[in-house]
Amino acid sequence: MAGILYLVGTPIGNLEDMTYRAVRILNEVDLIAAEDTRNSIKLLNHFDIHTPMTSYHEFNKLDKGQELIGKLQADQNIAVITDAGMPGISDPGEELVKMCYENGIEVTTVPGPTAFASAAVMSGQPCRRLAFEAFLPKDKKEHARVLEELQKETRTILIYEAPHHLKKTLQELRQALGDEREITVTREISKKFEEKMKTTLLGACQHYESEEPRGEYVLVIHGKSREEVLREEMSKWENLTLEEHMQHYLEQGIDRKTAMKNVAKDLGISKRDVYNQLLQ
């Protein structure tokens, strides 16, 4: 029989958030795969855990992943931990889970703290619908594409950011989403210097003109209202000529007859009127 892969949540700042079950599982497994062994050894020492540890991170996730799969197939139980929070969220644990499913290996989780969930619930922003973006992409084209997509996002947006990139990211978000978009800037969650600042994107940019960013940040941004999205969509249709309206449907692969019917319905006119105007 194969072993079990445990995804073990670890504290995001305050060691008192470590669960009894997490300590027990880390003691009982055969091996701990850690994102950064130098960081994780401090956690293990604090809880007197002496389980062997190996490095598993972004730059070795494929080769080391195959090695870990082999150990799991040999009936070893393995726990994955990240530097802080839940493995698999914005780290290589996701790849290992996928490999386990491909090889019929059981995966389970030992729940623990998660930075974006903690930031969301104390942000004062709506929490029923969330869009978690983690860190914005490094690739310039993908980065620009995500910012463009966020302009129409109606869910509350959550973004991770490091201190040395915070000012630039806030300026980019301000340019994409507007000065008055609400944001709660959270930093150092559960740590001694935890802070929450609910303001606007303009206010956040102005704040960090004189304040130097420190610590790890989670940005919680109010989504665009559905009413505003609807108004923008209606305005876009109103500004289209009938020919442009028709072309919109044709570009989607809709046949000409159906496209004319759709245009007539959208504009509240007859299909014959559409036909005649297109002839002209």
Tens-digit pLDDT string for the chain (280 aa): 789 999 999 999 999 999 999 999 999 999 999 999 999 999 999 999 999 999 999 889 889 999 999 999 999 999 999 999 999 888 878 999 999 999 999 999 999 999 999 999 999 999 999 999 999 999 999 999 999 999 989 999 999 999 999 999 999 999 999 999 999 999 999 999 999 999 999 999 999 999 999 999 999 999 998 777 766 666 666 667 788 878 888 888 888 888 888 888 877 788 888 878 887 7
pLDDT of residue 226: 77
CA–CA dist 278, 92 (Å, integer):
55
pLDDT of residue 91: 80
CA–CA dist 63, 46 (Å, integer):
30
Residue 23: both structure tokens together: 């300590």
Mapped onto helix, strand or coil, the DSSP state of residue 49 is coil
pLDDT of residue 238: 66
CA–CA dist 177, 40 (Å, integer):
38
Which spans in the chain are helix H? 20-28, 37-46, 61-73, 93-102, 115-121, 140-150, 163-177, 201-210, 226-238, 242-250, 256-267, 271-279
User: Is residue 9 a contact partner of residue 82, using CB atoms and an 8 Å limit?
Assistant: no
Range 196-203, long-range pairs (CB < 8 A, 24+ positions)? 196/122, 196/123, 196/124, 198/123, 198/124, 198/125, 201/170, 201/173, 201/174, 201/177, 202/174
pLDDT of residue 235: 66
Phi, psi angle pair for 121, to nearest 5°: -70, -20
